[in-house]
Structure 1
Amino acid sequence: MATVEITAQNFKETIEKEGITILDFWAEWCGPCQRFGPIFERASEQNPGVTFGKVDTEANQELAAALRIQSIPTIMFFRDGVLLERVSGLIGEGEIKDLVTKAEALDMDAVRTQIAEAQAQAQQQ
């Protein structure tokens, strides 16, 4: 599956859909981003059931700021609307595969329960 362009307009609907979504936050001028691009593209071809999206941080500065993107490339892994992992810097295809496998193995009901408990505890403090 080819990567899709993610903007502020389609970000929420993209990450909230069922399944795994991996987003690459990048910029044209970024050398490491240019080296990571082909790795990300190959990973998207090897994982047809996963949504791979690219967010141009220059064209989507408000979205990048809202997500506190401070260095690029930054990769964010979502499943069913829940942010599972955030990695800054270059990673290889093997690392992407490992993170996809880890995300697939999660019991998302248990993850949501843990999130709700953490939020309730934070509100009590």
Structure 2
Amino acid sequence: MLTSALRPARPLAKAGSSIRPVIASRSFHASRIARDHFLDANEEAFNKRALDEANTKPVLVDFYAEWCQPCRVLTPLLKSHTGPETEYDLMTVNVDDYPELAAKFKVSALPTVVAFKNGAVKNKFVGFRGDADIKKFLGML
């Protein structure tokens, strides 16, 4: 059977036949990584996840800005150390969109990473850190 490159081949039903071609629908769902990386979080998501006193899994909140070059390098490093297979979650907050949130946690330079556990600040670092420093930081939580 010849098929077009734009259209998948479908079995043809005979006239008067009750057999119809089956077209499978594609279902979408959230993966575990999507649930453990909260990228570009708003204030409501921040309050629900980072400030949740019942949350025993540490959440690293990466305060960043689009124009910040060190932020662009740090975020992928943080992603590699967080997620469903680790003990840590990651949340990113754009300080240009939520300056009052950044001010509340005394973010004065970028990037700034604040670690929360049980709704409280556990640790913080300012500026770019390499892979070894990130591992050391996570070990202190």
TM-score (norm 1): 0.72
Q: Whole-Å Cα distance in 1 between the matches of residues 85 and 94 of structure 2?
A: 22
Alignment of 1:56-71 (within 5 A): 56-71=94-109
18, 42, 66: which one pairs with 1:7?
Answer: 42
Which AA in structure 2 matches 1:12? Answer: N
Q: Whole-Å Cα distance in 2 between the matches of residues 80 and 53 of structure 1?
A: 15
Which AA in structure 2 matches 1:9? Answer: E
Unaligned runs of 5+ in 1: 104-125
Which AA in structure 2 matches 1:51? Answer: D
Residue equivalent to 1:110? none
Residue equivalent to 1:75? 113
Moved more, 10-19 or 42-51: 42-51
Residue equivalent to 2:78? 40
Detail structure 1 runs of 4+ shifted over 3 Å in the superposition: none
SS at match of 1:44: coil
Greater share of helix residues, 1 or 2? Answer: 1
Q: Whole-Å Cα distance in 1 between the matches of residues 104 and 59 of structure 2?
A: 18
Bigger Cα Rg = 2
CA apart distance, 1:46: 8.5
Q: Whole-Å Cα distance in 2 between the matches of residues 57 and 22 of structure 1?
A: 15
Q: 1:28-64: per-residue Cα shift (whole Å, max 9, x none)?
A: 0011111212212212258533111101111111211
Residue 98 of structure 1 pairs with residue 120 of structure 2: no
More contact order relative to length (CA 8 Å, sep ≥ 6): 1
CA contact (8 A) 2:113 2:124 kept: yes
